[in-house]
Amino acid sequence: MIQTVLGTLFEVIVPLSIPVIAGALLKRFTNMETKPLTTLYLYFLSPAIILETLTTAQISYDDVYLTVGFCLLNLILLWSVATVAAKLLKLPAPEQAGLTLISTLTNSVNYGLPLVLLALGKLGLDKASIYVVIQMVIVNTIGVYFAARSQFSFQNAVKSVFSLPAIYMAILAALLRLFDLHLPAGIQTGVAMVAGAYSPVVLAILGAQMIGVKNAELDRQVNAGFWTGLTIRMVISPLIACFCLFVLHVQGILYAVLFILSSMPVAVNAVVLAERFNASPKLVSKCILWTTLGSFLVLPVLIGFVK
């Protein structure tokens, strides 16, 4: 087990850390703007990797059903845990919303996909693509609801989902697979070339974003929410994922992929929702910072466990 963990640390975490550190240094010393890179990732790289992966992925209908079932069951259980914890701590409404975002939204896109690719290879990435598409929908619908229940509009949530090009690429890939069609060779090669740039660019963005995330001082009550969020994301979340996978009888590489992705640190875009809807952005920011730093130690152990 120790040998597997150390192997994962040097073979997976160290390569991932290079573009993350590069992005952090660029932000620190050149004040690199991340907004143009985020636009590039959201509207160009992300649709390309989704289309390329889903059109060539070795996935079955069982993989789709199990992944959807896992995402929904895992979300409900994490939401329940966060709600109970917030009630016990008597957190104010904004902090309750922030704790729910911390507990349920994971950084499975710009951190999880490169991690799965390095740890589990192309087949792991194939399985992960389904999870990532589902998470995009969850963040832009249920995630908005968690952040601002009083301001939640189903119509606006649907609009936000269909403003993402990756969703259209997922639909296109599904249609191509359904009718057993293929992209022209030249287009497929171009899409694959763009998809190949996904990992280093998004990891550099993550590093730059981490520099911008503030390690805010919190008052005593909210600080209790921070430690609770940290515990849910780093300890309870993997346990709940194991339970869900056991209940659904998930096995093989799909088990490893879903377990790893559901155990990722807090999603960086959670703070975007928190700031937009006043869902305790300081609490969310601090949890993003420390769960991401902690993940460099915790994830090798979890990957060693599933291997």
The encoded tokens of residue 147 equal 């952040």
pLDDT classification of 151: cutoffs 50, 70, 90? low
Residue 266, φ and ψ in degrees, nearest 5: -60, 140
Identify the pLDDT of residue 35. 82
- Whether 150 has a pLDDT exceeding 60, the answer reads no
Average pLDDT, the chain: 87
pLDDT of residue 215: 64
Q: How many residues does the chain have?
A: 307
Q: Are 142 and 75 in contact (CB under 8 A)?
A: yes
What pLDDT sits at residue 247?
97
pLDDT score at 146: 84
pLDDT digits (tens, 9 = 90+) for 112-140: 888 998 889 989 999 999 998 888 888 87
Q: Backbone dihedral region of 58: left (phi > 0), alpha (psi from -120 to 50 degrees) or beta?
A: beta
Contact 86, 96 (CB under 8 A): yes
Cβ neighbour number for residue 156 with a 10 Å cutoff: 13
C-alpha 30/C-alpha 203 separation (Å) is 17
Domains of the chain are 2-306 (1.20.1530.20)
Which of 19-28, 155-164, 203-212, 258-267 shows the lowest per-residue confidence on average (mean pLDDT)? 155-164
Cβ atoms of 199 and 114 closer than 8 Å: yes
pTM over 0.75, yes/no: yes
Mean pLDDT across 43-55: 90
DSSP state of 3: H
pLDDT band (50, 70, 90) for residue 250: very high
Measure the CA–CA gap between 300 and 285, rounded to whole angstroms: 23
| Residue position matching structure tokens 């899409």 | 191
Beta-sheet strands, E only, within 231-305: none
Report which of residues 260 and 56 the model is more confident about: 260
